[in-house]
Copies of this chain bind each other. A is one copy, B any other.
Amino acid sequence: MLVQAGRQISGLPKSKKTVKPKMTVNSSVKMSSSSIHSSTKSQIKSTVEISKYIDVANNLADAASKITLKYFRTKFDVEIKSDCSPVTIADRETEIAMRELLAVDCPGHSVFGEEHGIQFGSGEGSQFTWVLDPIDGTKSFITGKPLFGTLIALLHNGRPILGVIDQPYTRERWIGADGYPSTLNGQSISTRACSSLSHAYLYATTPHMFEGANETAFNRLRDSVRIPMYGCDCYAYGLLASGMCDLVAEADLKPYDYMALVPIIKGAGGVITDWEGKDLVWNPKRPTPGLSAKETAAELKAGWPGEVLAAGNAELHAKALAKLAFKL
């Protein structure tokens, strides 16, 4: 179903050309090989590769932001996907641009994106999977709300080792990578010390993402915190990594919604798992031959967690996990 949303409106800024940046993302704010701390180098299995891939991820985010801002607050069609979520030409073009860069910079790596599915890699490179969400917060994007983001993750044998949250409109870029302190626009960040649920500020994108047992569990957590808040999409995880809120709990998610967040939260001192306390890992396997397209999709999805709990520290995470009491 094609429906029209958004249109060119003269009063709202829509692109870099007409809007001065609130924060400038330039080479000085990108984490690169030169910013590796010698003390943390030894913690990284493959330091050279990680630093190279951080540069690749920055390039992907730069390319993505040019396209998303080109379309932001302009007239475009909104298509409703089979899962009832909206998608636009901006989502699709952005993902294609990132895939084209990866084909050059990381040939042989697998790529999984929200809009164009999975492309399996080959040889040594197939240990790596790039997981892309060109526009996290498409509903925000199509209503002109400036807190949409681009999410970029790199998995190694299923484990997220690098993640980027890029906020094109506010020019904020969070980066996390194995063995590196997480950064926002190049400056180290850390979560805060709140360890009491009754003092915690909790974010979730929307209460409507919780259904059935998920809703019951979330409501228990929601009712135990100081203030539950909504409407941030990936921005909430950035705020948590930067020590501005304490908990994010979400459900009905896909790997492209959360894999990028894992290294950022962990590298800022936080904890992020599924609602059973398990690590967020996903190692996509080639589909079983002979399956229908629907069965292939179901097989792919079977392996990934759908619920995410992020906390500023282990103590608060454990308390929130106990409150969720999910599948225990």
Contact = CB atoms under 8 A, between A and B. Distances in A.
Contacts of A228: 206, 208
A270 to B, nearest CB: 14
Contact of A245 (B144, B169, B245): B144
A143 B184 CA distance: 16
A189 B11 contact: yes
B11 A185 contact: yes
Contacts of A242: 9, 11-12, 144
Copies held by the complex: 2
A172 to B, nearest CB: 8
A37 interface: no
Interface residues of A, number: 55
Interface string A211-237: 000000000000000011111100100
B243 A9 contact: yes
A235 B12 CA distance: 12
Interface string A19-42: 111111000000000000000000
Q: Most B CB atoms within 10 A — which of A9, A142, A172, A185?
A: A9
A141 to B, nearest CB: 10
A230 to B, nearest CB: 4
Contacts of A183: 11
Interface of A: 3, 5-7, 9-13, 19-24, 73, 86, 139-140, 142-147, 169-172, 183-185, 187-190, 192, 199, 201, 203, 206-208, 227-232, 235, 239, 242-245
